[in-house]
Amino acid sequence: MKRFIKYFLCLLISLCVFAGTGCGFDVFGSGSGTAADAPLIIRMLDIGQGDAILIERNGKFALIDTGDVEHRPRMAEYLRKYGVKKVDTVIITHPHGDHIGGMFSVFANAEIRQVYDNGVPTSLSTYKTYRKILDKRKIPRRTLRGGEKIQLLDGVPFTVVGPLENSNARGENSRQNNESIVGLLKYGNFTMLFTGDAEAEEEASILKSGADVKSIVLKAGHHGSKTSSTEEFLHAVSPKAVFISCGAGNNYGHPSRQTMKRLEKWGIDVYRTDRQGTITLTTDGKRYEITKEH
């Protein structure tokens, strides 16, 4: 009887580890990942009509995009709220203002160890200032292309699947959305695909390359635009959940009805910042929990 009670209590505790206001899920991976010694926390920040994802493990931080110029004060508030004084890795998926604009709050509030971007120049003053500050402070910056692999944080590999070297959208007048850095984060058996503003063109290019994009969670490209998250791409990724970052009442109609219908058709859980605020995912590599701000 005592053995049964002990077993029951252990089972109950394990089931409650990820209990709370969010939803906990098992990760059924076939890879070689093992349970991690520290949880990984991925926060898709409520930053208006922009992208900013803050990733934390063992008190160390990484950022994938930084939001827009208008919401710089909010970005600074988030850095203070989560105790971010140093950022090990910053990835700017592409230099549009709603992805790079909050970088100046990061410059002002945190030490930056390494910056990666897509290497495609633009005449935007925001981008020029960003490059000047990097040079002045001697912050290392490197271009990422498909096929490369970096450590986002210790124990958190990030495999870049796009943009590809043979992309035909290069140069000052390039369509920057389809030059977005697209990469797969892996932690234990948990995976999440980050897509910047990648649209159908880049999605098709990545699929044609044969890159592995299958992921448990997908960050929808281009704020849930109708030009992203195609049927073919969703089939290849096969996500259980999709995160969409967009501003409440935005003028672009994001996320689009077409995209939402596609996600509904596939039975995918959708989390969006315009309705639910900051979305937080916590994983130990075996299970994950998603919580909403409201």
- Does 6 have pLDDT greater than 50? no
What domains lie within the chain, and their CATH numbers? 17-292 (3.60.15.10)
pTM of the model: 0.88
Rounded to the nearest integer, the mean pLDDT of the chain is 89
Q: Give me the pLDDT at residue 76, please.
A: 98
Q: Is the model more confident about 11 or about 293?
A: 293
Q: Give me the pLDDT at residue 230, please.
A: 96
Q: Give me the pLDDT at residue 121, please.
A: 87
Average pLDDT rounded to a whole number, residues 58-85 = 97
Residue 91 near residue 181 (C-beta atoms within 8 A) = yes
**What is the residue-wise DSSP string for 53-106?**
EEEEETTEEEEEEE--STTHHHHHHHHHHTT-SEESEEEESS--HHHHTTHHHH
Buried b (16+ CB within 10 A) or exposed e, 20-58: eebebbebeeeeebeebeebbebbbbbbbbbbbbbbbbe
Q: Give me the pLDDT at residue 117, please.
A: 98
Q: Give me the pLDDT at residue 165, please.
A: 72
Q: Give me the pLDDT at residue 175, please.
A: 80
Q: Is the model more confident about 17 or about 266?
A: 266
Partners of 57 in the β-ladder = 40, 60
Query: Worst-scoring range by mean pLDDT, 87-91, 148-152, 162-166, 221-225?
Result: 162-166
Q: Give me the pLDDT at residue 288, please.
A: 98
Give residues with Cβ within 8 angstroms of 181, minimum separation 6.
91, 92, 93, 94, 116, 117, 118, 144, 160, 162, 163, 194, 196
Cα atoms in the Cβ-side hemisphere of radius 13 Å centred on 101: 18
Binning pLDDT at 50, 70 and 90, where does residue 52 land? very high
Q: Give me the pLDDT at residue 36, please.
A: 57
- Does 11 have pLDDT greater than 50? no
Average pLDDT rounded to a whole number, residues 225-251 = 95
pLDDT tens digits along 240-264: 999 999 999 888 989 999 999 999 9
- Does 89 have pLDDT greater than 70? yes
Partners of 122 in the β-ladder = none
Integer angstrom CA distances of residue 9 from 2, 6, 16, 18, 284 = 11, 5, 11, 16, 21
